[in-house]
A = this chain, B = another copy of it.
């Protein structure tokens, strides 16, 4: 059992290094460290009980069912119907054509069996994972090849039918579901690996491959995907690229703008743009593929991806630490970068309110003593002895100096996953807390948590919880506000306050989630009007009729 193994590992590892700790640490910090170990043994039993209990209530699964993540959505949708986006936000439908019987007949000829019109089957594809926006599409298409996507778009463009490309539908800004009756073009059946070269580490695959499946495939070949995120069990690599997903490994392996080497994209008029070169370097003309990375399906449909994959690290270590203040988190980060250097692969933080949510809603156990903040540090390297020595030295240093007051470490895969869950499943825990207002902000790291404090003060009791967590190593804060239900007045209290605050410190109002439907009107807080104008010109050039993912990403140019 995962939790029990984690305890054993933790104790074992501490045992190995205890001698060094005793030599170097102050008694105060050492006591905190060892008491955390003892605490685990108690929690192990409590957690086993909680796990049994948790089976009673429906749990959220990040696994793909036979039809995407339908099981999850259906269970949600049956309990409470999500308000239509068009009604909640008062959006006007653009003058696209409506799908006719002859359209259906055409699509059926192109992709026999891949045309879904059953309203019940369509339900989960019309609602986002957060249950915050809902469209009313009457048609889901599931092509298997690029040629089929090309035919679908060519026809749709001619007929002026709007199309909503959809990957795993795990987006958080309402970008992946229709606003009205757009045709949903799912990449779910485009899930084949095309090639992998084990000398260069270059993977070419179809856009609908699920991130976790790709990672599993690569791990058997001693490689990994250069990105990792909580939704990995459902999200598609095509969607990851279309939204320029960041996630947990960006600190180490960089953004998709560097690791994506090639793309195959079908444009709005159905023409296929093949920029799928499997080369580390290619400076022949403008790098067109970059325009599609992060364009959220508004400029073209990504059908295949070529990506550079790093070797699977031979040693991974995780440290989960308690910290008394945000300034100590920052100082620990500077120390960490200096002492762990090239093996540092993640530096995540969460506040105590996040911890309370994952403990109360998901029945996870907090492995360290209560603290205002928690840090999760991951190292990935090629030599376990060297890595553990570096990590030991670092931990001794931050404990001795009082920067960190408690902590636990894991080296075994299973236990690492259990610790990672505390951070990765915050998003899920929040959905159990009520309606969630989500903000994904880039800021200079020194200012990162001030926004959480100021928002908390501003909202007072009108919010249920105001929590902050995120990828501190990338200057990326996830600010989340929960309430019993959606409320216009609460939204008005949050926006544009959060955006103005962010703009004041030259931050970005969307670090990694994109703009989708919910944030598109706030782009000017992070981009000058000349830039927005240029984006609108690109959109008009590549998709003159605006059929691709309408109502998303950019404010309308009129």
Q: A285-B531, A299-B286 are in contact. Are A280 and B442 (CB under 8 A)?
A: yes
CA distance A337 to B222 in the complex (A): 12
Q: Which of A420-469 contact B (CB under 8 A)?
A: 442-446
Q: A311-B337, A314-B341 are in contact. Are A286 and B535 (CB under 8 A)?
A: yes
CA distance A267 to B282 in the complex (A): 24
Q: A279-B508, A291-B291, A512-B281 are in contact. Are A274 and B382 (CB under 8 A)?
A: no
CA distance A294 to B197 in the complex (A): 26
Q: A199-B330, A553-B285 are in contact. Are A382 and B442 (CB under 8 A)?
A: no
Is A44 part of the binding interface, using a Cβ–Cβ cutoff of 8 Å? no
Give chain B nearest CB distance to A161 CB in angstroms.
23
Q: Which of A244-283 contact B (CB under 8 A)?
A: 244, 246, 250, 254-255, 257-259, 271-275, 277-283
CA distance A341 to B257 in the complex (A): 22
Q: Is the CB of B506 within 8 A of A277?
A: yes
Is A207 part of the binding interface, using a Cβ–Cβ cutoff of 8 Å? no
Q: A273-B530, A299-B286, A531-B273 are in contact. Are A199 and B445 (CB under 8 A)?
A: yes
Q: Is the CB of B537 within 8 A of A541?
A: yes
List the B side residues contacting A339 at CB < 8 Å.
382
CA distance A190 to B55 in the complex (A): 65
Q: Which of A276-326 contact B (CB under 8 A)?
A: 277-288, 290-291, 293-295, 299, 311, 313-314
Of the four ranges (under 10, 10 to 19, 20 to 34, 35 or more), the interface on chain A belongs to 35 or more
CA distance A260 to B313 in the complex (A): 26
Q: A342-B342, A382-B342, A506-B278 are in contact. Are A535 and B285 (CB under 8 A)?
A: yes
Is A527 part of the binding interface, using a Cβ–Cβ cutoff of 8 Å? yes
Q: Is the CB of B386 within 8 A of A285?
A: no
Is A476 part of the binding interface, using a Cβ–Cβ cutoff of 8 Å? yes
Whose C-beta in chain B lies nearest to the C-beta of A445? B199
- Of B200, B475, B528, B535, which one neighbours A445 at CB under 8 angstroms? B200
Is A37 part of the binding interface, using a Cβ–Cβ cutoff of 8 Å? no
Is A554 part of the binding interface, using a Cβ–Cβ cutoff of 8 Å? yes
Is A241 part of the binding interface, using a Cβ–Cβ cutoff of 8 Å? no
Q: Is the CB of B511 within 8 A of A281?
A: yes
List the B side residues contacting A538 at CB < 8 Å.
286, 541
Is A389 part of the binding interface, using a Cβ–Cβ cutoff of 8 Å? yes
List the B side residues contacting A278 at CB < 8 Å.
444, 506
List the B side residues contacting A381 at CB < 8 Å.
341-342
Is A7 part of the binding interface, using a Cβ–Cβ cutoff of 8 Å? no
Q: Is the CB of B382 within 8 A of A386?
A: no
Q: Is the CB of A283 within 8 A of B279?
A: no
Q: Which of A322-369 contact B (CB under 8 A)?
A: 330, 333-334, 337-343
Is A546 part of the binding interface, using a Cβ–Cβ cutoff of 8 Å? no
Whose C-beta in chain B lies nearest to the C-beta of A260? B257
List the B side residues contacting A445 at CB < 8 Å.
199-200
List the B side residues contacting A530 at CB < 8 Å.
271-274
Is A383 part of the binding interface, using a Cβ–Cβ cutoff of 8 Å? yes
Q: Is the CB of B283 within 8 A of A199?
A: no
Q: Is the CB of B294 within 8 A of A291?
A: no
Q: Is the CB of A281 within 8 A of B255?
A: yes
List the B side residues contacting A293 at CB < 8 Å.
287, 290
Give chain B nearest CB distance to A375 CB in angstroms.
16
List the B side residues contacting A290 at CB < 8 Å.
257, 287, 290-291, 293
Is A403 part of the binding interface, using a Cβ–Cβ cutoff of 8 Å? no
Q: Is the CB of A280 within 8 A of B334?
A: no
Residue-wise, chain A 28-53 has the 8 Å CB interface mask toward B (1 for contact) of 00000000000000000000000000
Is A70 part of the binding interface, using a Cβ–Cβ cutoff of 8 Å? no
List the B side residues contacting A512 at CB < 8 Å.
281, 283
Q: Is the CB of B283 within 8 A of A513?
A: yes
Q: Is the CB of A294 within 8 A of B283?
A: yes
Q: Is the CB of B288 within 8 A of A511?
A: no
List the B side residues contacting A254 at CB < 8 Å.
254, 258-259
Is A532 part of the binding interface, using a Cβ–Cβ cutoff of 8 Å? yes
Is A4 part of the binding interface, using a Cβ–Cβ cutoff of 8 Å? no
Beyond A283-B513, A290-B290, 13 extra complex contacts between A and B, CB < 8 Å: A244-B287, A246-B281, A258-B258, A273-B528, A273-B531, A279-B475, A280-B442, A284-B515, A285-B531, A290-B291, A311-B341, A313-B341, A342-B381
Question: What are the nearest 5 A-B pairs in CB distance?
Answer: A258-B258, A341-B382, A290-B290, A282-B508, A281-B511
